[in-house]
Structure 1
């Protein structure tokens, strides 16, 4: 049975996206490549995306399989990114999305429940704020893997938006990176007596 891991990064003031949905990647280093991306992809058996993040990642990673001069070709985990099965949540995509992916149906909790039954291992959700908040509202996230960036963005779209159920979390691990970012791992505490 699979577990759903929400893997995201946020500014110290809690923003996941810049204004107008602008993507702002974290400062990168070998330390992050090993202990953030490498760690996640070493565990992942399936990836879950929202449409925007899926299309962005597909355009970056897919060329690594055929073009040795592409930016992704030199990244050690490019083959893993391209080979992992993926599920995409989208209201606008149709047909075969490619990149070893399938489109999810409209019932998010049912789709995640199906994946948890079918995937033997961890399912990593790499999505934007819309997908992250939809997963949290449905209370289907089993683990939060959050990188807090040493930046204050001032505005944008928050990771934790209103409308989520109250819940208890249990700290699993922390790690500091050489970029000044910090990774936090929390498990959803579903023990009796914990908040629903």
Structure 2
């Protein structure tokens, strides 16, 4: 499996089958998506591009409308603090539920497709509703 690494600090990567993305990460990912993700320039679909464990990178990709689908695992735990996947500054977007599953009555898997830009309307102090459009 080919790996692409987005890093603000690394100059090289030593993992097998890995390429360091340089320059504007949004443009690099856009080019990968246009090439179907395999980097060989043939335009043949070789599968999906996945992002694991990077809230900053996913925020950049959301901002540039480069996320097609999310697979989100939800655990019934209140942490109270920490980094949010959809934090302040996230561009509002409509999402369509494609699939949901529950594992061992604890973890829920939500598979959603990005449905385009949305807008947020206030209904009262602190209340917001996402409206597709």
Q: Shorter-normalised TM-score: what interval?
A: 0.7 to 0.9
In structure 1, what is the equivalent of residue 5 of structure 2?
Answer: 88
CA contact under 8 A between 1:139 and 1:165: conserved in structure 2? no
Q: Secondary structure of the residue that 1:189 maps to in structure 2?
A: strand
CA contact under 8 A between 1:97 and 1:103: conserved in structure 2? no
Q: 1:166 to 1:115 in 2, by over 3 A?
A: same
Quick check: 120-129 or 167-176, which moved more?
120-129
2:70 is the alignment partner of 1:144: yes
In structure 1, what is the equivalent of residue 120 of structure 2?
Answer: none
Larger Rg: 2
Q: Secondary structure of the residue that 1:164 maps to in structure 2?
A: coil
CA contact under 8 A between 2:26 and 2:60: conserved in structure 1? no
In structure 2, what is the equivalent of residue 122 of structure 1?
Answer: 48
Q: Secondary structure of the residue that 2:50 maps to in structure 1?
A: strand
In structure 2, what is the equivalent of residue 172 of structure 1?
Answer: 98
User: Relative contact order (C-alpha < 8 Å, sep 6+): which is higher?
Assistant: 1
Match of 1:159 among 72, 81, 85: 85
2:13 and 2:70 mapped to 1: Cα distance? 29
Shift of 1:171: 0.8
Shift of 1:151: 1.1
Any gaps of 5 or more consecutive residues in structure 2? 38-44, 118-131
Any gaps of 5 or more consecutive residues in structure 1? 1-83
Q: Which has the higher strand share?
A: 2
When the two chains are superposed, the root-mean-square deviation of aligned CA atoms in Å is 1.8
1:135 and 1:127 mapped to 2: Cα distance? 13
In structure 1, what is the equivalent of residue 126 of structure 2?
Answer: none
Q: Secondary structure of the residue that 1:157 maps to in structure 2?
A: coil
1:136 and 1:117 mapped to 2: Cα distance? 17
Aligned length: 110
TM normalised by structure 1 equals 0.52
